[in-house]
């Protein structure tokens, strides 16, 4: 059995886990070799996988109406994807595709559920790491939405008109 401890320890998602938890976590992941173009997660299809890049790179892409898939981000060694789909069990919100040859470490929902039953303490560490990661992503998305709204309001002058309606009068 290959120990994936070093790759998982390099993943920011697991940075706060104690060393013994990383050791126990490594056995739950399965290594998968990937080639350029391999679709690991397909948008709008059930996935329920957490992927950690051990070697190589992945791209995350999202379909946009009237346009080809748009690149959302690139993920290199230590990066991760699929956490939203793993947590909620719904269809994937984006596609994850191998950009280069490499290796990904995979934790699927079934193994995560088994972890809950057999190692509750480890499951608690992983669940907290996922919650913190998702909270950071929500905060980042909120900032981007705020910036987009501000840009739109500045472009239309709507912000000024909206504030004028609030002025006592």
The CATH number of whichever domain residue 92 belongs to comes to 2.60.120.10
Q: What is the pLDDT along the chain (169 residues), one digit of tens a residue?
A: 456 889 999 999 998 899 999 999 999 999 999 999 999 999 999 889 999 999 999 999 988 877 767 778 899 999 999 888 888 878 898 999 999 999 999 999 999 999 999 999 999 999 999 989 888 888 888 887 777 777 666 666 665 555 555 666 5
- Residue 14 lies inside a defined structural domain of this protein: yes
| Residue 130 token pair | 């996922």
- Residue 112 lies inside a defined structural domain of this protein: yes
For residue 108, the model assigns a pLDDT of 93
- Residue 92 lies inside a defined structural domain of this protein: yes
Q: What is the DSSP letter of 43?
A: T
How many domains does the chain divide into?
1
For residue 153, the model assigns a pLDDT of 63
- Residue 93 lies inside a defined structural domain of this protein: yes
Residue 27: domain span:
5-139
Please tell me the distance from the alpha carbon of residue 131 to that of residue 88, in angstroms, as a whole number.
12
For residue 168, the model assigns a pLDDT of 65
- Residue 155 lies inside a defined structural domain of this protein: no
- Residue 46 lies inside a defined structural domain of this protein: yes
- The sign of the CA dihedral 154, 157, 163, 168 is positive
- Residue 146 lies inside a defined structural domain of this protein: no
- Residue 129 lies inside a defined structural domain of this protein: yes
Closest residue by Cα to residue 130 from 55, 72, 53, 50: 50
Q: What share of the chain is helix, strand, coil (3-state, %, to 5)?
A: 45, 25, 25
């Amino acid at each position: 059995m290959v120990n994936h401890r070093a790759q998982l320890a390099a993943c920011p998602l697991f940075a706060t886990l104690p060393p013994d938890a990383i050791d126990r976590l490594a056995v739950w992941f399965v290594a998968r070799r990937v080639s350029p173009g391999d679709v690991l997660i397909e948008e709008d299809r059930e996935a329920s996988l957490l992927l950690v890049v051990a070697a190589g790179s992945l791209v995350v892409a999202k379909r946009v109406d009237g346009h080809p898939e748009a690149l959302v981000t690139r993920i290199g060694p230590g990066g991760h994807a699929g956490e939203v789909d793993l947590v909620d069990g719904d269809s994937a919100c984006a596609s994850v595709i191998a950009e280069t040859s490499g290796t990904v470490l995979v934790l699927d929902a079934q193994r995560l559920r088994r972890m809950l039953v057999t190692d509750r303490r480890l499951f608690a560490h992983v669940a907290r790491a996922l919650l913190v990661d998702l909270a950071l992503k929500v905060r980042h998305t909120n900032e981007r939405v705020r910036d987009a709204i501000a840009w739109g309001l500045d472009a239309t002058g709507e912000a000024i008109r909206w504030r004028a309606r609030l002025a006592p009068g």
